[in-house]
Structure 1
Amino acid sequence: MWRRTSRDLHARDTAPSPATGWLRAVRTSRRILLKGGVLTGAATLAPGSLTPVDLRSTAAATPFRDTPFSLGVASGDPLPDGFVIWTRLAVQPLADDGLGGVSPHSREIRWQVARDERFRYVEASGRAWTGPAEGHSVHVEVHGLRPGREYFYRFRTDREVSPVGRTRTAPDPASYPSSLAMSFASCAQLEHGWFTAYRRMAEDEPELVLHLGDYLYEYSPGTVPADSGNVRAHEGPETASLADYRRRHAQYKTDPDLQLLHATAPWVVVFDDHEVCDNWADEVPRTAASVPYFRDRRAAALRAYYENMPLRRSAIPRGLEMVAHRRLAWGRLATFHMLDTRQHRDDQSCGDGMGSCGAEQDAARSILGESQESWLAEGFAASTATWDFLGQQVPFARMDTSPTPDERLSMDSWDGYPACRDRVVRAWQDAGVRNPVVLTGDVHDHLASEVLSDWEDPSSVLAPELVCTSITSGGDGHDSDDGRYRWAEQNPHIRFWTDLRGYVRTRVTPDSVTADFRCLTGVSRPDQPAFTRASYVIADGDHALHQVSATPLSSL
């Protein structure tokens, strides 16, 4: 049994509501002692954890004077029999070398997974090793659990114990869950605001969280001011080295609102551009000046991304490459096809900007790469789910942002790869996918949009696209009372728009998907309330979006 004492990690925590009393467990650090015995359990550890360890090196590691779990805990990629649990040791998260002030020795980390938050019913347990080669991170792939169940987990090293995280396994593959509470988000620029949206997501108690990219930003302090002014600053220069990226991840992970959401539910994550650098494409950076060192920068960024996310060992980077695309099922209710639109794309055409030049029409161009396109088509063909979600980074439907009859399309989005978009649409049509739904981040706006077979005919709907706004990027933002897109005449398929910050909350059932576009009243001040700006329903077999409610900011 591990004896517990408490240390409050979250200075800005507010009291939990009666309906979310379990949150008390994840808002408190637990320091506990192992009284004896060897922990056992079924798990797969990431390479490095399986490497034979020099026990003399371990013995030389000095005890911690402060909590080494300052970056919290996380879980992810749930399967019917398990999930990944993660932590990373750091007593000085912003140490210049990126190693968190932890001594350069291997350390043993013990872990437990239980059915209850007091750990009276431990279902799996074990030990892992970590050290500077892994950035002092730990990834444990837990197996042998029951499907569709809630679990709690924690870590221990020396006499220090981590906060408790809550997670769950996916349902049995043959089952038909009655519902799924899933929320998704993107684009969190720490300088531009407080991460209150993450806390509001946690208070909704989702069963699954998707993060669609731009988990952090690479910029040096003050490079990109928010419209409402920067409220805090990045530490260190623009990220370029492994130490830089490790330190930037650590800075973001110290945020208590982000820690709370990680400890609330399993996450499924994919990266976009800012986890490396703005608008990169395969081995091509945005600026020519970055070319000489970009390969090293990309490798460092992807390595740090793996170290700091609850990812399976199949995602461990191999040089420049990291397998980020993958597929997860939620019983027969939903399948999530998580896409990578950065590593294998052709370079953006037409100068990587806003505006078409004709080169983007080349049929050979792809935002996914040939292999990933084939993988996606095979997944569509094999799917028996009621709902097939494409979790990806950049706008899929056409977006013309020109105030004149001349088109103005972003070459960084699917508009820069129209032939590839057509192939993806044909693949889900040929496979007879029952309900395709595109989930998108990137543009810092909430958008309820529709994918059309003919962009001049708003009735030719093929699938809905739900675009989430940013967590903070851009600052407080603004709203319009009618929810009308500012270039609505050029884009009649965009049914709703707002520039406020927030996230999208969904409820998935066999009959429908309800999408709530959740917004904050502002992010330049901490702990602001959230409200549902608009709600849309997608009915089974009907690919169109139907609005069921709207609440403009001005009415609050």
Structure 2
Amino acid sequence: MTDTRISTAPSGITLTRGTTRRRFLTWSAVTAAAAFAPAMLGSAHAQTGGSGPTGSSGSSGSAGSVGGGADLFSLGIASGDPLPDSVILWTRLAPSPLEPGGGMPPLPVPVDWEVATDPSFRRVVARGTEIALPDNAHSVHVTVNGLQPWTEYHYRFRAQGQITEPGRTKTTPAAGQSLPALSFAWASCQNWVNGLWTAYTDLADTTSHEPLDVILHLGDYIYEGDHRKSDARDTRDIDFSVTREPYTLDEYRLRYSLYKREPELQTAHRAAPWIVTMDDHEVDNNWAGEISQDDDDPAAFLQRRAQAFKAWWEHTPTRVQAPTGPTLTIYRQAVYGDLATFNVLDTRQYRSDQLYGDGSHVQDAATADPSRTMVGAQQENWLLDNLASSTTRWNILAHQTVMTDLAQMTDGERQVSMDGWSGYEASRHRILDGAVDRGVDNLMSIVGDIHRNTVSELKRDYRDSRSPAVGVEIAGTSISSGGDGKDLDDAAENMLATTPEIKLSSAQRGYVRTTVTPEQWSSDLRVVDQVTTPGGRMRTRATVTVPAGRPEISLD
């Protein structure tokens, strides 16, 4: 492959393709400035053998030591948003992650990175240096170009003499490349106070499972609520600045630090590239467009939303452009050769407000109002255009909450959630009818949000028995949100009795592990028996198979 290395400057900084003279001079000035600020950077020198990832003294060592020997990479490393020739690498320097600023000085710090085709880094194919800026919480997003399609790589970072554990990543296939199989998983809803993240250990385990090609996180990566009390974790020594509900950028950064320091999550990030979207709790529970849960002044809420979006970007391995205000274009597409296309949606930023106080209600003229939308006109057209032009075997909607009517009988009435697509019927009709009109085969919807596994037929209208199934929807349960849960709870019994299109409902915690071939979709619903105490045991609750060409569900 083409090596992205061009030359090594006298300062030790490796220039990568696209480096301009102006940028090089900026890096040189940054390094020189840091070298003349030992008091701010600390005097202790953390050593891991005295050499950088390249095997010689790297540029990051010239800036002095940050954090007095504490772990600069306490929040781990990650990769994401892969393309056929590129991946994004991420880390954030935070020697004291639960302090404002992460314990970093208000100075730029060079961070070396390295990519190899082997885990021992004997065959390095790309290396360079990025500058961790205080304005971005000393996070770095490295765009590594010039990689080979459908190839496994290993990566690591170095700063101030400290080297990270290696991570594993993988590019997507070339456009139209024939692909015999794709292995992926998806997760969501990891409320830190509700339970332990045992499921992530299983997700990353390659002794019992084949390595994953990609991992999707479908929202609620953090929870914004008060974190002073926990069913599973000791919060007594955590400062109130970390556990209180966040509103400012620094507060959201602290909440991400609380979550990202957990070793199970870090292990899962190192296992494969991630594609991450957000749901509501990254900002505020059940927000919709410019409307907060508590109907705050829209201008004040948009200011809060801007802080939350900035913190999300700072802590996510993504190609999404950094926000400059309260807007962030996170809907995007990932294509895997001729086999599968993921259409990653945003069902929060553009939606109409929820009806009837955002609870459960019967469907009526208001829920069917054609002016109401879940994704906004622009994203809806983008999605329909993608479906029309798709050349892959499987077409996947990867989003936040269920399209299926998870109807339950309450006081003799058939009621559905107003937060899901059931409260936006016309929006659901337009997308599913559009898929049918465009001849889309093998339509799958994968979601999170509801803290339970459900498997159901995907239909435009669940009150019309003549409405045909046009696809299959699998909701993955939560990593920890909701606590231990149980297999068949009262809600599951009610919805299974009320909605025959639902074939399975289970409220234990876990994630979904999937293998797709040209002939079949197969998903293992991995669940854990407890999350509020250590020692949870994982098992496969059911294996869901769907044959190509027919939206038919088999459960084993």
Normalised TM-score (structure 2): 0.87
- Per the TM alignment, residue 180 of structure 1 is displaced from its structure 2 partner at its CA by 0.8
Q: CA-to-partner distance for each residue in 1:370-418, whole Å, 9 max, x for gaps?
A: 0000000110011000001100001111121234441211111101110
- Aligned pair count? 506
- Per the TM alignment, residue 430 of structure 1 is displaced from its structure 2 partner at its CA by 1.6
Letter in 2 for 1:243: D
Partner of 2:60: none
- Per the TM alignment, residue 525 of structure 1 is displaced from its structure 2 partner at its CA by 1.8
Shift in CA distance, 275/462, structure 1 to aligned 2, threshold 3 Å: same
CA contact (8 A) 1:44 1:142 kept: no
1:528 to 521, 528, 536: 536
CA contact (8 A) 1:44 1:141 kept: no
- Per the TM alignment, residue 171 of structure 1 is displaced from its structure 2 partner at its CA by 1.0
Q: CA-to-partner distance for each residue in 1:205-233, whole Å, 9 max, x for gaps?
A: 3111010000010011247x7xxx34344
Q: CA-to-partner distance for each residue in 1:428-461, whole Å, 9 max, x for gaps?
A: 1122111110001000000011112442428821
Partner of 2:496: 488
| Alignment map for 1:365-380 (pairs within 5 Å) | 365-380=372-387
Letter in 1 for 2:72: P
Partner of 1:75: 79
2:119 to 117, 132, 143: 117
Q: C-alpha distance in 1, partners of 2:422/2:18?
A: 43
CA contact (8 A) 2:70 2:96 kept: no
Partner of 1:514: 522
Letter in 2 for 1:154: R
1:473 matches 2:514 = no
Q: C-alpha distance in 1, partners of 2:535/2:33?
A: 44
Partner of 1:57: 33
Q: C-alpha distance in 2, partners of 1:252/1:143?
A: 30
Q: CA-to-partner distance for each residue in 1:511-543, whole Å, 9 max, x for gaps?
A: 000011110011112242210001110100011
Indicate the SS of the match to 2:470.
strand
Shift in CA distance, 520/51, structure 1 to aligned 2, threshold 3 Å: farther
CA contact (8 A) 2:197 2:531 kept: yes
* Structure 1, gaps ≥5 residues long: 1-33, 550-556
| Alignment map for 1:443-482 (pairs within 5 Å) | 443-455=450-462, 456-457=464-465, 460-480=468-488
Indicate the SS of the match to 2:338.
coil
1:335 matches 2:365 = no
1:254 matches 2:261 = yes
- Per the TM alignment, residue 44 of structure 1 is displaced from its structure 2 partner at its CA by 8.8
Q: C-alpha distance in 1, partners of 2:528/2:19?
A: 40
Indicate the SS of the match to 2:103.
coil
- Per the TM alignment, residue 37 of structure 1 is displaced from its structure 2 partner at its CA by 5.5
- Per the TM alignment, residue 41 of structure 1 is displaced from its structure 2 partner at its CA by 3.7
1:309 to 310, 313, 316: 316
Q: C-alpha distance in 1, partners of 2:499/2:129?
A: 55
Shift in CA distance, 301/484, structure 1 to aligned 2, threshold 3 Å: closer
Letter in 2 for 1:57: A
Q: CA-to-partner distance for each residue in 1:183-226, whole Å, 9 max, x for gaps?
A: 00110000111111011100133111010000010011247x7x
Q: C-alpha distance in 1, partners of 2:108/2:365?
A: 55
Partner of 1:39: 14
Shift in CA distance, 84/138, structure 1 to aligned 2, threshold 3 Å: same
Indicate the SS of the match to 2:14.
coil
Indicate the SS of the match to 1:496.
strand
- Per the TM alignment, residue 293 of structure 1 is displaced from its structure 2 partner at its CA by 2.2
Q: C-alpha distance in 2, partners of 1:41/1:483?
A: 55
Q: C-alpha distance in 2, partners of 1:436/1:315?
A: 29
- Per the TM alignment, residue 236 of structure 1 is displaced from its structure 2 partner at its CA by 2.7
Letter in 1 for 2:498: Q
Q: C-alpha distance in 1, partners of 2:389/2:180?
A: 22
- Per the TM alignment, residue 42 of structure 1 is displaced from its structure 2 partner at its CA by 4.0
Partner of 1:126: 128
Q: C-alpha distance in 1, partners of 2:548/2:410?
A: 36
| Alignment map for 1:236-255 (pairs within 5 Å) | 236-255=243-262
Q: C-alpha distance in 1, partners of 2:158/2:395?
A: 39
1:350 matches 2:349 = no
1:543 matches 2:551 = yes
**320-329 or 404-413, which moves further after superposition?**
404-413
1:422 matches 2:429 = yes
Letter in 2 for 1:91: P
Q: C-alpha distance in 1, partners of 2:34/2:339?
A: 47
Partner of 1:442: 449
Q: C-alpha distance in 2, partners of 1:457/1:50?
A: 68
Q: CA-to-partner distance for each residue in 1:291-319, whole Å, 9 max, x for gaps?
A: 5621111000000000000011x431131
Q: C-alpha distance in 2, partners of 1:310/1:109?
A: 16
**128-137 or 232-241, which moves further after superposition?**
232-241
* Structure 2, gaps ≥5 residues long: 1-8, 43-64
Letter in 1 for 2:34: T
Partner of 2:305: 298
Shift in CA distance, 266/43, structure 1 to aligned 2, threshold 3 Å: farther
Q: C-alpha distance in 2, partners of 1:518/1:497?
A: 13
Partner of 1:139: 141
Normalised TM-score (structure 1): 0.87
- Per the TM alignment, residue 349 of structure 1 is displaced from its structure 2 partner at its CA by 1.7
Q: Percent identity?
A: 38
Q: C-alpha distance in 2, partners of 1:501/1:43?
A: 45
Partner of 2:393: 386
